[in-house]
Protein backbone atom coordinates (compact mmCIF):
# COMPACT_ATOMS: atom_id res chain seq x y z
CA UNK A 1 0.00 0.00 0.00
CA UNK A 2 1.33 3.43 -0.94
CA UNK A 3 1.55 5.44 2.28
CA UNK A 4 0.38 9.02 2.77
CA UNK A 5 4.03 10.07 3.19
CA UNK A 6 4.96 8.40 -0.11
CA UNK A 7 2.05 10.19 -1.81
CA UNK A 8 3.23 13.54 -0.42
CA UNK A 9 6.81 13.01 -1.58
CA UNK A 10 5.74 11.94 -5.08
CA UNK A 11 3.30 14.86 -5.37
CA UNK A 12 5.84 17.45 -4.19
CA UNK A 13 8.96 15.90 -5.79
CA UNK A 14 7.70 13.91 -8.82
CA UNK A 15 11.19 13.30 -10.24
CA UNK A 16 11.74 9.59 -9.66
CA UNK A 17 14.87 7.63 -10.50
CA UNK A 18 13.70 4.44 -12.21
CA UNK A 19 15.91 1.38 -11.93
CA UNK A 20 15.56 -1.42 -14.48
CA UNK A 21 17.74 -4.26 -15.76
CA UNK A 22 19.19 -4.28 -19.29
CA UNK A 23 18.99 -7.29 -21.61
CA UNK A 24 22.56 -8.22 -20.66
CA UNK A 25 21.77 -8.07 -16.92
CA UNK A 26 23.25 -4.68 -16.11
CA UNK A 27 21.50 -2.19 -13.84
CA UNK A 28 20.15 0.96 -15.47
CA UNK A 29 18.81 4.07 -13.74
CA UNK A 30 16.96 6.88 -15.47
CA UNK A 31 15.16 9.97 -14.13
CA UNK A 32 11.49 10.40 -14.99
CA UNK A 33 9.78 13.65 -14.05
CA UNK A 34 6.09 13.05 -14.70
CA UNK A 35 5.08 10.67 -11.92
CA UNK A 36 1.58 10.48 -10.48
CA UNK A 37 0.02 8.23 -7.86
CA UNK A 38 -2.97 6.57 -9.53
CA UNK A 39 -4.35 4.59 -6.58
CA UNK A 40 -3.27 2.80 -3.40
CA UNK A 41 -1.01 0.37 -5.28
CA UNK A 42 -0.11 2.07 -8.57
CA UNK A 43 2.25 4.86 -9.59
CA UNK A 44 2.90 5.85 -13.19
CA UNK A 45 4.91 8.19 -15.37
CA UNK A 46 4.42 9.57 -18.83
CA UNK A 47 7.06 8.28 -21.22
CA UNK A 48 8.33 11.13 -23.36
CA UNK A 49 11.76 9.92 -24.45
CA UNK A 50 12.82 6.75 -22.71
CA UNK A 51 13.65 4.13 -25.36
CA UNK A 52 16.22 2.37 -23.15
CA UNK A 53 13.89 2.08 -20.17
CA UNK A 54 11.04 0.86 -22.41
CA UNK A 55 13.36 -1.73 -23.99
CA UNK A 56 14.41 -2.94 -20.53
CA UNK A 57 10.80 -3.20 -19.35
CA UNK A 58 9.83 -5.23 -22.42
CA UNK A 59 12.48 -7.79 -21.46
CA UNK A 60 11.84 -7.73 -17.69
CA UNK A 61 8.68 -5.86 -16.62
CA UNK A 62 9.89 -4.86 -13.16
CA UNK A 63 11.18 -1.57 -11.78
CA UNK A 64 12.19 0.17 -8.61
CA UNK A 65 11.77 3.93 -8.20
CA UNK A 66 13.35 6.25 -5.65
CA UNK A 67 11.91 9.66 -4.78
CA UNK A 68 13.61 12.12 -2.41
CA UNK A 69 12.28 15.16 -0.60
CA UNK A 70 15.45 17.24 -0.92
CA UNK A 71 14.57 19.56 1.98
CA UNK A 72 13.49 17.01 4.58
CA UNK A 73 16.10 14.52 3.31
CA UNK A 74 13.53 11.77 3.43
CA UNK A 75 12.35 9.61 0.59
CA UNK A 76 10.62 6.48 -0.51
CA UNK A 77 11.57 3.45 -2.58
CA UNK A 78 8.78 1.66 -4.44
CA UNK A 79 9.08 -1.46 -6.54
CA UNK A 80 6.81 -3.71 -8.52
CA UNK A 81 5.78 -5.03 -11.88
CA UNK A 82 5.26 -2.71 -14.81
CA UNK A 83 2.70 -2.28 -17.53
CA UNK A 84 3.15 -0.06 -20.58
CA UNK A 85 0.01 1.57 -21.98
CA UNK A 86 0.73 2.91 -25.49
CA UNK A 87 -0.93 6.03 -26.83
CA UNK A 88 -3.13 4.02 -29.22
CA UNK A 89 -4.82 2.12 -26.39
CA UNK A 90 -8.29 3.17 -25.22
CA UNK A 91 -7.04 3.07 -21.64
CA UNK A 92 -4.35 5.65 -22.49
CA UNK A 93 -7.00 8.12 -23.60
CA UNK A 94 -8.73 7.77 -20.24
CA UNK A 95 -5.58 7.95 -18.11
CA UNK A 96 -3.79 10.77 -19.95
CA UNK A 97 -6.33 13.30 -18.67
CA UNK A 98 -4.61 13.14 -15.27
CA UNK A 99 -1.28 14.15 -16.83
CA UNK A 100 -2.92 16.94 -18.82
CA UNK A 101 -4.45 18.30 -15.61
CA UNK A 102 -1.05 18.26 -13.89
CA UNK A 103 1.46 19.11 -16.66
CA UNK A 104 -0.64 20.85 -19.29
CA UNK A 105 0.96 20.93 -22.74
CA UNK A 106 3.87 18.70 -21.70
CA UNK A 107 1.37 15.84 -21.57
CA UNK A 108 0.95 16.13 -25.36
CA UNK A 109 4.50 14.78 -25.75
CA UNK A 110 3.77 11.58 -23.81
CA UNK A 111 3.85 8.52 -26.08
CA UNK A 112 3.01 5.91 -23.44
CA UNK A 113 2.18 5.62 -19.77
CA UNK A 114 4.27 3.29 -17.67
CA UNK A 115 2.32 1.93 -14.72
CA UNK A 116 4.14 0.37 -11.80
CA UNK A 117 1.97 -1.98 -9.75
CA UNK A 118 3.67 -1.49 -6.41
CA UNK A 119 4.29 -4.45 -4.14
CA UNK A 120 7.00 -2.92 -1.92
CA UNK A 121 7.18 0.53 -0.29
CA UNK A 122 10.20 1.39 1.87
CA UNK A 123 10.86 4.71 3.56
CA UNK A 124 14.29 6.33 3.26
CA UNK A 125 15.96 8.73 5.67
CA UNK A 126 19.37 10.31 5.97
CA UNK A 127 21.75 9.45 8.86
CA UNK A 128 21.33 12.78 10.74
CA UNK A 129 17.86 11.53 11.76
CA UNK A 130 19.60 8.62 13.50
CA UNK A 131 21.50 11.21 15.53
CA UNK A 132 18.34 13.07 16.60
CA UNK A 133 17.96 15.70 13.85
CA UNK A 134 14.42 16.95 13.38
CA UNK A 135 12.58 17.64 10.14
CA UNK A 136 12.55 21.35 10.98
CA UNK A 137 16.34 21.34 11.37
CA UNK A 138 16.84 19.49 8.10
CA UNK A 139 14.49 21.84 6.22
CA UNK A 140 16.26 24.92 7.64
CA UNK A 141 19.71 23.54 6.78
CA UNK A 142 18.80 22.69 3.17
CA UNK A 143 16.76 25.84 2.63
CA UNK A 144 19.88 27.80 3.63
CA UNK A 145 22.14 25.63 1.47
CA UNK A 146 19.97 26.04 -1.65
CA UNK A 147 19.56 29.79 -1.03
CA UNK A 148 23.36 30.12 -1.10
CA UNK A 149 23.55 28.04 -4.29
CA UNK A 150 20.82 30.07 -5.99
CA UNK A 151 20.94 33.60 -4.52
CA UNK A 152 18.12 35.92 -5.47
CA UNK A 153 15.83 33.05 -6.53
Residue 153's pLDDT is what? 66
Enclosing domain of residue 102: 4-126
CA distance 102 to 151: 28
Residue 111's pLDDT is what? 96
Does the pTM exceed 0.85? yes
| 147 lies in some domain | no
CATH number at residue 32: 2.30.110.10
Q: What is the pLDDT along the chain (153 residues), one digit of tens a residue?
A: 999 999 999 999 999 999 999 999 999 999 999 999 999 999 999 999 999 999 999 999 999 999 999 999 999 999 999 999 999 999 999 999 999 999 999 999 999 999 999 999 999 999 999 999 999 999 999 999 999 999 876
| 151 lies in some domain | no
Residue 152's pLDDT is what? 79
| 143 lies in some domain | no
| 67 lies in some domain | yes
CA distance 82 to 85: 10
| 137 lies in some domain | no
| 15 lies in some domain | yes
| 148 lies in some domain | no
| 146 lies in some domain | no
Residue 41's pLDDT is what? 98
Residue 18's pLDDT is what? 98
* Torsion 110-50-35-39 (CA) sign: positive
- Contact 20/62 with Cβ under 8 angstroms? yes
Q: What is the number of structural domains in the chain?
A: 1
Planar angle of CA 76, 29, 8, nearest 5 degrees: 25
Amino acid sequence: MITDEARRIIREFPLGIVATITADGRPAASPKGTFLVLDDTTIAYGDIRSPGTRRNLQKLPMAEVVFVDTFRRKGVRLSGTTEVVDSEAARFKTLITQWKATWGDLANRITALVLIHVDTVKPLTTPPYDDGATEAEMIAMYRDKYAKMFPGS
